[in-house]
């Protein structure tokens, strides 16, 4: 629908077109950037008006510099007004964050995100101006909400003051499809538009030379141009701009009376400037406020909230005066500030050096922020408390390290622990410190240091079962390259956590134990998974495991695997926890690949890579590997092969053998797809060496090098293949997996045929009815090749055409070509112009005999849709339109006999 810009928006036609695209839903996000005063706020105000007229709900935040340090100040602005109907848990979380109720228990910021998502759902416009001054907790919540509202009709309009274009916030260019993300750089207006602006806003007449002078001084910046024009009218000249906007703000401030200037400074320093708080801090607030408002520097909203004419006005005002003046003002505001967090910050900024009273206030405020899940604010307050000489320094330092770990600042967390570790006595607090430092080391890739710290932590936590169990649980994860050791730590974690309140950690430990036992070649214990799943909380937890889904996928139970991964992803997103999002999307991509839904697999894989990049390049490896595997399935062999082999070599050199094996599995598939059996044998030998080195007897997922190795050996060395088949048969007896069984049958069929047992070979090469699509097509390809070699050409053609149809439908051109080449070796031709293929001949004759499409499909082991496709080609080739005509064609001998 057309959106008419308001008269206040002068020029900016192209820019308004971008806003209209956002309001219409053609884009989802629009970032507006430009220098101060260029018109970002004006454009956003126009967008808000148009959105309201279009029936969109508007949520707008206009953060200021002082608000940037106060947790959830921006969120309070965005969600100003009554909250919608929310579940009680979500409502409480949000009301605590917004300080509408007191915090009684620790609150995770993820819960706030969930509530925010609910508030923003529906046809709405979310506006943030100015983005750099949005407080960190609000930024985290809004970023998470925007990502989770990808499918909702929510538009996002952001403004950022900048001297040059920068990156999109929250990695939105990677999180959302490029076509849905718009960027807009606001430059200066041309002289004609500046003339229009001055006439519209100031009235009167401006000559061409006068406009040219104003344009030259302002550079076309509309805010500067208006101030130059005002100055010229007031003083009869156009003053130069040493600091363009700052000087004009200063000029306007110089015209204020002392009490008006003081009121403006108070407003600029308050966390949330309101008339009520201004009155509490200033004796003559109302009188002074009237003068400031008349000067156009400050506006008063209906709810009493104060807004500056431009964000830079507040910035300039706050910076005026000496540091001592600013400290005095902060001390003054601390006396009247009702919020503990804001009061503590004012006290801290109003003092210099140690002050135990201030430190205690900061600690209390940090605890309040931490309860609300505002870890960034809590970390800053705790750091200030330590600077001001907080008592019990080591304990507060450990709490600070915990906040930093939650924020992902591993280096700062480790440095904080290092600063107090020598002062800690052996015991639970030191165990917590070591656990935090070890976790930070793990995030930084220092596995040895991580393990050393956690082992030392276990000694200190010996008397605290929950803490000890969590340490062992982490150790099991940190030892994923040593299967026996990982199992040992998993079992220790189970013993320690059993009977404690941490049910989700116990659930994760049980899953780890199940997985480790299977990888060691032991018989699976489903009871462990059953118990683990029974312990999980419905709301989810970071400790809830993907292992059940991995196990389901190993058993070809793709529907169960999909449901598990979707459930975990849904739970995580509901809590606002994106830490495992990339892994879960990667698992979903793998599931859909094997289920035969390659478009969905591609969508998940791309989303997984975008999500992983939020966590750093190193954590992007599994998702990138999955995307490369999909590329290989889709036939991009020449591109994928060198990349995955090089990455596998780099990972092996870094001693990450498990991930190296995952990349080698892709390389082996590439070689197999290209028919390079020598490369398959080389790659799988390397992969087997890695698995042996880490003690993994039984890879649970499709990393097993024996799958491709058996088939390559079956053709090049049947005797060696027979030995490999015996080994895998024993493994399958312990841990049965349909996909590995299918590979075993294909290899065993080749060996049986080479030894002259054609009947056994063909029995082995019969795909089971519940085989997954690609596995079924590979088995049909093997069967067709064996039938051709047995000179059963018609049956061979049926199998090969079914395989080719599946490969083509899935989008696997390399395998479709291989199948077509095998079919071409049959040499079947038919007389006449029709030239029906063997499969078409068989379908035609069965259909002509009166069989339904489903009956034909059952007789030929193909799908009814494939029967329909065959019949359509038969009709076209024979020039007929009905089954009656088909029957006549068969009777007339137009349809060849089956060979």
Q: Average pLDDT, whole number, for the chain?
A: 85
CA dihedral 869, 872, 877, 880 (to 10 degrees): 160
Distance CA 102, CA 213 (A): 57
Domain for residue 72, yes or no?
yes
Distance CA 113, CA 448 (A): 35
Long-range contacts for 490-495 (Cβ within 8 Å, ≥24 apart)? Answer: 490/516, 493/469, 494/469, 495/469
Greater model confidence, 139 or 690: 690
pLDDT at 821 over 50: yes
- The whole-number pLDDT of residue 43 equals 87
Q: What average pLDDT score do residues 42-65 get?
A: 86
List the beta bridge partners of residue 30. 157, 182
pLDDT digits (tens, 9 = 90+) for 94-135: 777 777 777 666 666 677 778 788 787 778 888 888 888 888
- The whole-number pLDDT of residue 886 equals 83
What does the DSSP 8-state code read for residue 305?
B
- The whole-number pLDDT of residue 171 equals 76
DSSP reduced 3-state for 425:
coil
Least confident of 100-114, 129-143, 877-891: 100-114
- Domain check: are 841 and 883 in the same one? yes
Least confident of 106-110, 777-781, 876-880: 106-110
- Domain check: are 159 and 201 in the same one? no
Give the pair of three-digit tokens for residue 764: 């082995």
What does the DSSP 8-state code read for residue 764?
H
pLDDT at 464 over 60: yes
- The whole-number pLDDT of residue 542 equals 73
pLDDT band at 681 (very low <50, low <70, confident <90, very high): very high
- The whole-number pLDDT of residue 833 equals 41
- Domain check: are 54 and 88 in the same one? yes
Determine the length of the chain: 899
Categorise residue 54: left if φ over 0, alpha if ψ from -120 to 50, beta otherwise.
alpha
Decide: residue 879, CB within 10 A, 0-12 exposed, 13-18 middle, 19+ buried.
Answer: exposed
pLDDT at 242 over 50: no
Q: For the stretch 376-401, what's the b/e string if a residue is b when 16 or more beta carbons lie within 10 angstroms of its beta carbon? A: bbbbbbbbbbbebebeeebbbbbbbb
- Domain check: are 37 and 108 in the same one? yes
- The whole-number pLDDT of residue 367 equals 87
Q: Where a domain ends, among 268, 294, 320?
A: 320
Distance CA 399, CA 453 (A): 17
pLDDT at 596 over 80: yes
Q: Are β-strands 154-161 and 29-34 bridged in parallel, bridged antiparallel, or unpaired? A: parallel
How many structural domains does the chain have?
A: 4
pLDDT at 563 over 60: yes
Q: Where a domain ends, among 144, 161, 187?
A: 187
CA dihedral 729, 734, 735, 737 (to 10 degrees): 40
pLDDT at 238 over 80: no
pLDDT digits (tens, 9 = 90+) for 499-524: 899 999 999 999 999 999 999 999 99
What does the DSSP 8-state code read for residue 171?
G
pLDDT band at 84 (very low <50, low <70, confident <90, very high): confident
Domain for residue 868, yes or no?
yes
Q: What average pLDDT score do residues 139-155 get?
A: 80
Q: Where a domain ends, among 263, 291, 320?
A: 320
Say how far residue 702 (Cα) sits from the centre of its chain. 24
CATH of the domain at 76: 3.40.50.300
Q: For the stretch 409-422, what's the b/e string if a residue is b when 16 or more beta carbons lie within 10 angstroms of its beta carbon? A: bbebbbebbeebbe
Distance CA 829, CA 838 (A): 9
- Domain check: are 169 and 21 in the same one? yes
pLDDT at 729 over 90: yes
- The whole-number pLDDT of residue 831 equals 41
Domain for residue 138, yes or no?
yes
Decide: residue 811, CB within 10 A, 0-12 exposed, 13-18 middle, 19+ buried.
Answer: middle
Taking the alpha carbons at both ends of the chain, their separation in whole angstroms is: 64
pLDDT digits (tens, 9 = 90+) for 180-198: 888 888 888 877 778 778 8
Give the pair of three-digit tokens for residue 839: 């499969």
Least confident of 162-176, 252-266, 820-834: 820-834
- Domain check: are 228 and 260 in the same one? no
pLDDT digits (tens, 9 = 90+) for 305-360: 888 876 557 767 887 778 888 889 898 888 888 888 888 888 888 888 888 888 88
- The whole-number pLDDT of residue 616 equals 40
- Domain check: are 833 and 892 in the same one? yes
- Domain check: are 202 and 276 in the same one? no
Domain for residue 399, yes or no?
no
Domain for residue 499, yes or no?
no
pLDDT digits (tens, 9 = 90+) for 832-850: 445 788 888 888 888 888 8
Domain for residue 837, yes or no?
yes
Please say whether the beta carbons of 184 and 30 come within 8 A.
Answer: yes
CA distances from 6 to 42, 483, 807 (A): 10, 67, 57
pLDDT at 28 over 80: yes
Side by side, which strands form the sheet with 124-128?
A: 57-61, 124-128, 154-161, 29-34, 181-185
For a pLDDT cut of 90, what percent of the chain falls above it? 38
- The whole-number pLDDT of residue 648 equals 96
- Domain check: are 152 and 299 in the same one? no
Give the pair of three-digit tokens for residue 685: 């030998």
- The whole-number pLDDT of residue 787 equals 95
Which structural domain, as residue segments, surrounds residue 843? 829-899
Distance CA 362, CA 348 (A): 8
CATH of the domain at 883: 1.10.10.10
Domain for residue 577, yes or no?
no
- Domain check: are 28 and 54 in the same one? yes
pLDDT at 796 over 60: yes
Greater model confidence, 823 or 748: 748
Distance CA 71, CA 83 (A): 19
- The whole-number pLDDT of residue 710 equals 96
Greater model confidence, 689 or 380: 689
Closest by CA position to 519, among listed 562, 490, 558, 559: 490
Distance CA 564, CA 701 (A): 16
pLDDT at 397 over 90: yes
pLDDT band at 239 (very low <50, low <70, confident <90, very high): very low
pLDDT at 209 over 70: no
pLDDT band at 867 (very low <50, low <70, confident <90, very high): confident
Distance CA 812, CA 422 (A): 60
- Domain check: are 315 and 305 in the same one? yes
Closest by CA position to 238, among listed 212, 202, 201: 212
CA dihedral 279, 280, 284, 285 (to 10 degrees): -30
Q: Return the biggest CA–CA distance within the chain.
A: 110
pLDDT band at 421 (very low <50, low <70, confident <90, very high): very high
pLDDT band at 54 (very low <50, low <70, confident <90, very high): confident
The residue written with tokens 């698992």 in the block is: 587
pLDDT at 610 over 60: yes
pLDDT at 218 over 80: no
Domain for residue 692, yes or no?
no
Rounded to 5°, angle at Cα 585 from 583 and 587: 70
Say how far residue 507 (Cα) sits from the centre of its chain. 25
pTM for this one?
0.62
- Domain check: are 841 and 851 in the same one? yes
Considering 269-278, 407-416, 547-556, the range whose residues carry the highest mean pLDDT is 547-556
Give the pair of three-digit tokens for residue 205: 């007449």
CATH of the domain at 293: 1.10.10
pLDDT at 885 over 50: yes
CA distances from 174 to 145, 167, 468, 586 (A): 15, 11, 39, 15
pLDDT at 576 over 80: no
Neighbours of 66 (CB within 10 A): 21
């Amino acid at each position: 629908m057309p959106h008419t810009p308001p008269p206040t928006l002068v020029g900016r036609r192209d820019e308004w077109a971008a806003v209209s695209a956002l309001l219409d839903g053609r884009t989802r996000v629009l970032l507006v950037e430009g220098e101060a005063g260029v018109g970002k706020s004006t454009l956003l105000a126009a967008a808000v008006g148009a959105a309201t007229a279009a029936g969109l709900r508007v949520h707008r935040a206009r953060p200021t510099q002082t608000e940037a340090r106060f947790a959830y100040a921006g969120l309070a602005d965005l969600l100003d007004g009554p909250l919608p109907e929310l579940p009680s848990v979500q409502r409480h979380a949000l009301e605590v964050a917004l300080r509408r109720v007191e915090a009684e228990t620790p609150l995770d910021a993820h819960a706030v995100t969930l509530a925010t998502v609910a508030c923003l759902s529906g046809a709405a416009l979310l506006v943030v101006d100015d983005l750099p001054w949005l407080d960190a907790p609000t930024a985290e919540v809004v970023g998470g909400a925007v990502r989770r509202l990808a499918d909702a009709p929510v538009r996002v309009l952001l403004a950022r003051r900048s001297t040059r274009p920068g990156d999109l916030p929250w990695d939105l260019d990677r999180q959302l499809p490029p076509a849905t993300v718009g960027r807009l750089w606001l430059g200066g207006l041309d002289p004609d538009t500046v003339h229009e602006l001055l006439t519209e806003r100031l009235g009167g007449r401006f000559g061409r030379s006068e406009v040219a002078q104003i344009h030259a001084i302002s550079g076309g910046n509309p805010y500067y141009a208006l101030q130059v024009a005002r100055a010229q009218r007031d003083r009869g000249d156009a003053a130069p701009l040493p600091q363009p906007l700052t000087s004009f703000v200063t000029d306007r401030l110089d015209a204020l009376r002392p009490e008006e200037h003081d009121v403006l400074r108070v407003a600029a320093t308050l966390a949330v400037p309101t008339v009520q708080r201004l009155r509490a801090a200033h004796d003559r607030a109302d009188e002074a406020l009237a003068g400031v408002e008349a000067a156009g520097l400050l506006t008063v909203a209906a709810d009493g909230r104060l807004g500056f004419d431009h964000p830079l006005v507040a910035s300039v005002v706050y910076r005026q005066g000496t540091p001592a003046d600013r400290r005095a003002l902060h001390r003054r505001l601390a006396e009247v500030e009702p919020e503990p967090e804001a009061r503590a910050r004012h006290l801290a900024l109003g003092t210099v050096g140690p002050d135990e009273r201030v430190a205690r206030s900061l600690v209390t405020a940090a605890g309040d922020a931490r309860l609300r899940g505002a870890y960034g604010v809590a970390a800053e307050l705790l750091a200030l408390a330590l600077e001001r000489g907080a008592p019990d320094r080591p304990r507060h330092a450990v709490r600070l390290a915990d906040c930093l770990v939650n924020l992902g600042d591993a280096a700062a967390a480790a440095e904080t622990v290092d600063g107090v570790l020598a002062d800690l006595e052996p015991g639970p607090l030191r165990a917590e410190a070591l656990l935090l430092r070890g976790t930070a080391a793990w995030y930084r890739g220092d596995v040895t240091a991580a393990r050393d710290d956690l082992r030392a932590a276990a000694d200190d936590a010996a008397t605290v079962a929950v803490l000890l169990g969590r340490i062992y649980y982490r150790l099991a994860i940190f030892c994923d390259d040593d299967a026996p050791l990982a199992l040992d730590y998993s079992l220790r974690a189970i013993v320690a956590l059993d009977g404690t309140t941490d049910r989700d950690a116990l659930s994760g430990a049980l899953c780890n134990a199940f997985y480790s036992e299977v990888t060691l070649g032991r018989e699976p214990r489903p009871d462990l998974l059953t118990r683990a799943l029974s312990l999980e909380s419905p709301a989810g937890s970071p400790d809830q495991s993907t292992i059940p889904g991995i196990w389901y996928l190993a058993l070809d139970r793709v529907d169960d695997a999909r449901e598990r991964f979707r459930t975990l992803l849904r739970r995580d997103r509901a809590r606002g926890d994106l830490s495992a999002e990339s892994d879960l999307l990667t698992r979903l991509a793998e599931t859909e690949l094997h289920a035969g839904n390659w478009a969905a697999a591609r969508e998940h894989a791309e989303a997984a890579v975008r999500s992983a990049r939020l966590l750093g390049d190193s954590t992007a490896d599994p998702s990138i590997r999955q995307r490369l595997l999909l590329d290989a399935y889709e036939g991009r062999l020449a591109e994928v092969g060198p990349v995955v082999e090089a990455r596998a070599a780099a990972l092996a050199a870094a001693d990450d053998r498990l991930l190296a094996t995952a990349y080698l599995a892709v390389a082996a598939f590439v070689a197999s797809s290209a028919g390079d059996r020598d490369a398959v044998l080389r790659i799988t030998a390397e992969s087997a060496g890695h698995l042996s080195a880490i003690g993994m007897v039984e890879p649970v997922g499709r990393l097993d090098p024996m799958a491709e190795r058996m088939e390559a050996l079956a053709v090049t060395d049947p005797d060696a293949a027979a030995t490999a088949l015996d080994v895998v048969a024993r493994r399958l007896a312990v841990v049965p997996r349909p996909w590995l069984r299918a590979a075993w049958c294909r290899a065993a069929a080749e060996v049986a045929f080479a030894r002259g047992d054609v009947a056994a070979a063909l029995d082995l090469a019969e795909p089971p009815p519940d085989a997954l699509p690609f596995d079924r097509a590979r088995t049909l390809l093997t069967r067709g090749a064996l039938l051709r070699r047995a000179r059963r050409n018609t049956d061979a053609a049926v199998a090969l055409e079914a395989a080719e149809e599946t490969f083509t439908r899935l989008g696997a051109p390399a395998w479709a070509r291989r199948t077509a080449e095998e079919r071409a070796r049959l040499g079947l031709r038919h007389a006449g112009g029709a030239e029906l293929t063997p499969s078409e001949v068989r379908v035609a004759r069965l259909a002509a005999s009166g069989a339904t499409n489903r009956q034909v499909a059952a007789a030929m082991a193909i799908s009814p849709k494939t029967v329909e496709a065959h019949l359509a080609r038969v009709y076209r080739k024979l020039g007929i339109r009905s089954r009656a005509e088909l029957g006549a064609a068969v009777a007339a001998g137009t349809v060849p006999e089956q060979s």
